A and B are shown apart, each in its own frame.
Chain A
Amino acid sequence: MPSRMFFFMGKGGVGKTTVASAFAVGSARSGKRTLVVSIDPAHNLGDALDVELSGEPIMVERGLWAMEVDLERAISSYLEDCSARMKNTYRHLMVLNLDRYFDLIKKSPGIEEYALLEVIKELSKVEDYDYIVVDTPPTGITIRVFSMPEISLIWANGLLEMRRRILSKRRMLENVRGPFYSEIEGKREKLPSAEEEDPITKEIMAYKEDMLRIRQFLSSKLAWVGVVTTAEELAYAETKRIYEALRDQNIALRAIFLNKYLQLESPPPELQGKIQEQERVFAHLREAFPRVEIFKVPLIRTSPRGTEMLYEIYSQNLHRLEALVA
């Protein structure tokens, strides 16, 4: 049975890591085998759990494992693997010096998003845990990652159509002129004219299957998405945009966490404006998202570190989530 994945999204600095790790600790103590993963390039999951983390899962306490994905290493290893396959396949690499281009690709815009999608794909296949809690990068990157399967499918369909036209024309000409051959560096090979013989078509179709699978996964009940934000007008506007962006990808927003919520018995006059603003934002959110659960997570005196403090946050503010996600 594949693990359920819980994505905690939000802007930088709103407290995604705190809320995500609090949920992870609480779930683990409720009996769910839980892995909490940070895919945010600016990791601080280890700081929140007060544990040194690496690219492999480490047991934090009974039922809870944690890891921080090293994106740079993931990108390098992916490109090295590709480069090695190409060097084995043909010698043009030496002439074109594609190694130099791979160094540029590592730095090219968008490569981080592809690497993140690969990580999510791999995590979606893991069955060792009941829950996989994902501390995501800031909103902009995460939204782009979630929209990549759809964009990739559009390209894959376009390339597949082009390739099918090429194969169809080769078949037509084969009936008249016989099979096509290519000769590269003294090596003569028959060119494929049927989809079953063409490695390019097969690769595009395999890629398409991958993207369809991940798109379906993200829209399914196995993927749960919550947004961590603060009770401020600007943050409210951003939450609306996130909701719409997710809806465009057929991904449901399940919960909103209003973090750093001021809950003061006798608020000083200078904070009255802030308190009124957060009440307004809460009311707007209730109206705008009637089917989305909203949690208030109060501002605490010290930044939580370690599983005990995180469990306290969970038990006081997030335990309701357990029944909702079950």
Chain B
Amino acid sequence: MSLREALAKAFRKLYCTLDSIGCSMREAATSLIEQELMEEEHVFALITTSLFSGMPSPPTDIVLRLLPHMEREIALMTRKSEEFDDVFSQTLARFDI
């Protein structure tokens, strides 16, 4: 193998290594943003549906105006309330265990 070929092979290997590091970093960053998005959506749903769960809530009129558009948020809260019994497994899932 000539020096040129050896160098090309080394650079290709370096590129692959860097690319896979980049991929996993991108994946980690994307997962983090996904987690943040999920939590933001949960908090938004919790606050805007808190009228029905006994928590301090925004003014009733804004909640009632938003309700017809919040089918997904109500479904989210319903699912969360069903998963309350299994908070432990949710937490473990967050750490990929």
Contacts and interface: CB of A to CB of B under 8 A. Distances in A.
B8 interface: no
Chief secondary structure at chain A's binding surface? helix
A173 B44 CA distance: 19
Interface in B32-48: 33-34, 36-37, 40-41, 43-44, 47-48
Contact of A173 (B30, B43, B68): B30
Interface string B55-90: 000111110111111111011001000000000000
Given A90-B71, A159-B44, A169 B37 contact: yes
Contact of A199 (B36, B37, B69): B69
A85 B78 CA distance: 20
Contacts of B52: 96, 98, 101
Interface in A195-217: 199-200, 203-204, 206-207
Contact of A82 (B34, B36, B41, B68): B68
Contacts of A96: 52, 74, 78
A92 B71 contact: yes
A178 to B, nearest CB: 12
Contact size range, B: 20 to 34
Contacts of A182: 72, 75
Contact of B60 (A108, A165, A172, A173): A108
B26 interface: yes
A204 B67 CA distance: 11
Contacts of A148: 59
A85 B51 contact: no
B56 to A, nearest CB: 11
Residue from the set B44, B58, B62 with the largest chain A CB neighbour count within 10 Å: B62
A111 interface: yes
Interface of B is mostly: helix
Interface in A168-209: 169-170, 172-173, 176-177, 182, 184, 191, 199-200, 203-204, 206-207
A163 interface: yes
A184 B60 contact: no
A162 B44 contact: yes
Nearest to B26: A176
Contacts of A203: 65-66, 69
B67 A82 contact: yes
B78 A152 contact: no
Nearest to B69: A199
Given A79-B64, A114-B60, A176-B26, A169 B72 contact: no
Interface string A5-20: 0000000000000000
Nearest to A85: B68
Contacts of A204: 62, 66
Ranked nearest first, the 9 interchain pairs of A and B with the lowest CB-CB distance are A169-B37, A90-B71, A199-B69, A155-B58, A85-B68, A114-B61, A82-B64, A89-B68, A152-B59
24 contacts: A78-B64, A82-B67, A85-B68, A89-B69, A92-B78, A96-B74, A98-B52, A101-B52, A110-B60, A114-B60, A118-B61, A155-B62, A159-B48, A159-B62, A162-B43, A165-B40, A169-B33, A169-B37, A169-B40, A173-B30, A184-B71, A184-B75, A203-B66, A203-B69
Interface of B: 26, 30, 33-34, 36-37, 40-41, 43-44, 47-48, 51-52, 58-62, 64-72, 74-75, 78
Interface of A: 78-79, 82, 85-86, 89-90, 92, 95-96, 98, 101, 105, 108, 110-111, 114, 117-118, 148, 151-152, 155-156, 158-159, 162-163, 165-166, 169-170, 172-173, 176-177, 182, 184, 191, 199-200, 203-204, 206-207
Given A156-B62, A207-B61, 18 more contacts: A82-B68, A86-B67, A89-B68, A89-B69, A90-B71, A105-B51, A114-B61, A158-B58, A159-B47, A159-B48, A162-B47, A166-B41, A173-B33, A176-B30, A182-B75, A184-B71, A203-B66, A204-B66
